[in-house]
Amino acid sequence: MSFNNLGLSAALLKSIQEKGYSKPSEIQEQAIPEILKGNDILAGAQTGTGKTAAFALPLLNRLQNAESKRRRVRVLVLVPTRELASQVGESFRDYGSNLRFKTSTLYGGVSINTQIDKLKKGVDIVVATPGRLLDHLNQKTLNLSELETFVLDEADRMLDMGFIRDIKKILNYLPDEKQNLLFSATFPKEIKSLADSLLNSPKRIQVRSNNSTADKVIQVVYPVDKSRKRELLAHCIKEEGWFQVLVFSRTKHGANKLAQQLNKEGIDADAFHGNKSQAQRTRALKDFKDSKTQVLVATDIAARGIDINLLPQVVNFDLPYVPEDYIHRIGRTARAGKEGKAISLVSADEHKLLFDIEKLLKSPIPRETIEGFEPTQNLSTEPPKSKGNNRRRSSSAKGGDKTRSSKGRPSWNKKRNKNTSSKNKRRS
């Protein structure tokens, strides 16, 4: 299949060619024709599958076919984080570089007055986070009464961050007659309920099974004592020559502390989290993308906003409390058809968290013990015991965890884990 066969205009095909894309991804191949027809869409796709282009290209095409001399907001894309808003807005501008449409990105942490001035001049496409969009709607600086298409991107992340109530408020400002597109990597019950209320006879697209991870991500668990995680991370970065490493920390304080410790060891690192100003976050992300910073230590706010095609490694310094976040984290690597590796540094106290992740994946993650960092507390290969349930999972793995030299070739083994639910509502 070629982009030429999808019904896109010559101007968009030129932009696609300039971007160096040769053929559409699976989500693009399925979604673009349906969106061009004006159908509602319920799409499940992992990060890195090209879903932004899957809705941006056909929406630009539809705007072009019904071009108007009067600018008004015709497309609204709602995203969970500032970084993702910036990324999606830039994609619309890139794909529409040969067209005359105006795109505005609205998110917190920057002056609202600058955004208001741009809106007054007229825009066709708005990409926004829920908090700042509501600010504009409450101040009546944005009119969505003539909206033609509403896109809810990363819907499951919206749920994780506590934005469902804000989304419902926003829906009250939108016209009833419009095209609705919902994209999500996972489909918890709340997202299914939202889709049922929002979408009208949607075309369902699932390019991968629910809660699956990208095919080209090599996943591995390094069992290690909690007190030696930082030491093991620094060892791997130096000995295995890791560069441009995205490391996930569970807390903002932990991210700051780890970045400081790595810097003391001669590893150029920076922290990226919600307590940083927007200017600091923008600078940190730019330095990381430009390879000026070797390691970026981030909280889950970055799991949906970093788009680097050649990011080789993602490291879970702490496992997430919410298993779905593991999928979003490791989806930062192996993008655009490239291979990547996701390493999780797991201590014995994280047994339940690992079990829940593997239960979600429906598969154990291979284990590999690094020589010189053998844990004093073994990471169990059995499911955690629960009250009133004495059943034990039989293991298909033969033998125990295997060990390799940090410079040797990996040998694999297995494991599992359970969950502690946690939600971190934050205002974008």
Work out the number of other CB atoms within 10 angstroms of the CB of residue 404: 14
Residue 125: helix, strand or coil by DSSP? Answer: strand
Which residues face 404 on adjacent strands? 370
The whole-number pLDDT of residue 427 equals 44
CB contact at 8 A, 281 and 340? no
| CA distances from residue 417 to 155, 330, 342, 370 in whole angstroms, order as listed | 25, 17, 17, 21
Helices assigned H by DSSP within 203-251: 229-239
Which residues face 221 on adjacent strands? 344, 367
- Per-position DSSP letters for 358-375, written without gaps between them: HHHHTSPPPB-EETT---
| CA distances from residue 270 to 102, 157, 250, 255, 276 in whole angstroms, order as listed | 34, 24, 15, 9, 11
Residue 240: helix, strand or coil by DSSP? Answer: coil
Q: Which two tokens stand for residue 327?
A: 């999928």
CB contact at 8 A, 365 and 78? no
CB contact at 8 A, 74 and 61? no
The whole-number pLDDT of residue 300 equals 82
Q: Which two tokens stand for residue 13?
A: 């095909």
Domains of the chain: 3-206 (3.40.50.300), 217-404 (3.40.50.300)
Q: Mean pLDDT in runs of 10 for the chain (428 residues)?
A: 92 91 90 97 82 96 86 96 90 94 94 96 97 97 97 88 92 97 88 93 80 69 97 95 91 95 95 85 87 91 63 92 85 68 95 93 93 92 66 34 41 38 44
The whole-number pLDDT of residue 307 equals 65
The whole-number pLDDT of residue 411 equals 35
